[in-house]
A and B are shown apart, each in its own frame.
Chain A
Amino acid sequence: MAVTIEEIGTLVRLQLGRRNVSAGDRFMEDLGAESADLVNIIAAAEDKFQVSFDEADIPGIRTVDDLYEFIKNAFGDQKPF
């Protein structure tokens, strides 16, 4: 199974209750996410895509696209499905 940027966008939109989200949007700067929102996004991504995020990785995931790349790479490493 391959993850798409659209799926990540939908997940972020649902978690933040926003209508529009672009790949380049930064979670805090552009989408106004607070730390609790980020926890929700990461936890939702873990549940949906069965991946695991190391806490040290999280500061490097700043945009929707970063999240997509992280999950895509995790799939590449883990081949979960």
Chain B
Amino acid sequence: MRRELGNMEKAEATTNEHFPFNAVIIIRISSGPAKKTLQSLLQYLQRRHPLLGVHIHKEKNRYFFVSEGTPAIPLKVVKRQTNDHWQQVAEEELNRDFDMFTGPLIRFTYLLGSGSKKESEIVISIQHAIMDAVSAANLIHEILSFFRETESGGSVEEVKTMEPLPSVEAFFPPSFKGLRRKWNTFLFVLRQIGDEFRYRVRTRGQRKPPVHPTGKCKILPMKLSKELTTALIKCSRKKRITVNNLLTAAIIMAAHKHLYDGQKRPLRHFNTADLRPYLIPPLDNQYFGSYFAMMMFTVGMKENPKVWELAREINDFVHASLKRGDKFGANLLSYQMMRTLFRYRSFRMANTALSYTGSILMEKNYGSIEVQDIHAFVSNFVLGPEYTALVKLFDNHIYWDILYLDSDMDHEQAKVIADEIRTILESAAKEES
């Protein structure tokens, strides 16, 4: 395999030349499999998914995924020390870059427990260029299904290799092909310039996210109760607002209160949009890759904002933007945006970011293996947003996997913001009921 990277892939891969940009997934299980099973799994995955067996080759300013000469997926087995050991490993992995030009762009750490329940964690680190949130959810399901198959004596010898796909631009709809692509991208750029201009004028003399020379990723997982999760879903549906947009309102409000003193001002936020269903032809979730867009928008914050009002505003704005096709424009401009960011190193991408994957299709038990928790984080860096989270719904709980930089805040402050998010959501659920 040798294929040129698309715009989003290039943005993610070249970020790695400055800072690590990894997705780190943690699968917490009981009755963890033997090391040998895990070794077979890695061979299986690399044979099945072309992007798990590539490195990057650079020719002038062009970047290519190349499979030839890429080593096997590395596996490190570590004796599990405590229940929270995985958090330390996850932070190390978020801060450790990949040797992109050697590959592969994925590595595994297995925290093998020895107690009666054999509680263990599989920590998977992946360079973002080869995987989005949809792929990650699929990867977890594939890994656990492999363990179940192996346990029941099923044969996984015959591996069907997935077809290597071109970059996402090849699947764009007619509105983002040829001349129409140029015109629609131009309109998107105009809207972005307008937004940038207004943002700069309105934040003159106000606090801006500081650009520190260095900063390490720190994590803070938070799990909402089953009762609160159910209430939030019910209320959101009643209000006809997506859960994603309600959670977005909560993270923005919490950051607004604790990082910006709750002043009247605009704040900038990033969320993600899955492109797969809107491609031509639509892309099946089984294909690993980076098929998403990072969507930026600005919210005018008032003093003492109301969570449902803000969620409604975000919901309507995001919906209109997605319908307009901004997700394709954002994908096309992602590399240019990152280049600008790294060239000047004088401003940060946003104040907050949130990626909500919704309900992940996963079972609680795979043979004798019981899934305890699933966590996922994406590296942030000193030019990225100040407070970020990956959020998902699993086993009737909303999991917040929050990430901050130690140059921006300490654990206490990150916790204060997380507690504020919880309080905002609790009040949103109460208000509506």
Contact = CB atoms under 8 A, between A and B. Distances in A.
A34 B358 contact: no
Given A36-B318, A59-B358, A59-B359, A43 B237 contact: yes
Contacts of B318: 36
What is the predominant secondary structure among interface residues of chain B facing chain A? helix
A36 B242 contact: yes
Given A55-B233, A58-B359, A35 B278 contact: no
Nearest to B137: A59
Give the interface residue-count category, chain B: 20 to 34
Interface residues of A, number: 19
A53 B318 CA distance: 24
A76 interface: no
Interface in A37-57: 37, 39-40, 42-43, 46, 53, 55-56
Contacts of A37: 319
Contacts of A60: 361
Contacts of B69: none
Contacts, number: 50
Interface string B304-337: 0000000000010011001100000000000000
A49 to B, nearest CB: 14
B238 interface: yes
A26 interface: yes
A46 B238 CA distance: 10
Given A58-B359, A59-B359, A39 B241 contact: yes
Centre residue among B237, B282, B359, B396 by max chain A CB count within 10 A = B237
A68 to B, nearest CB: 19
A23 interface: no
B240 A40 contact: yes
Identify the 6 closest CB pairs spanning chains A and B, nearest first: A28-B277, A29-B282, A36-B319, A34-B322, A29-B277, A56-B359
Interface of A: 26, 28-29, 32, 34-37, 39-40, 42-43, 46, 53, 55-56, 58-60
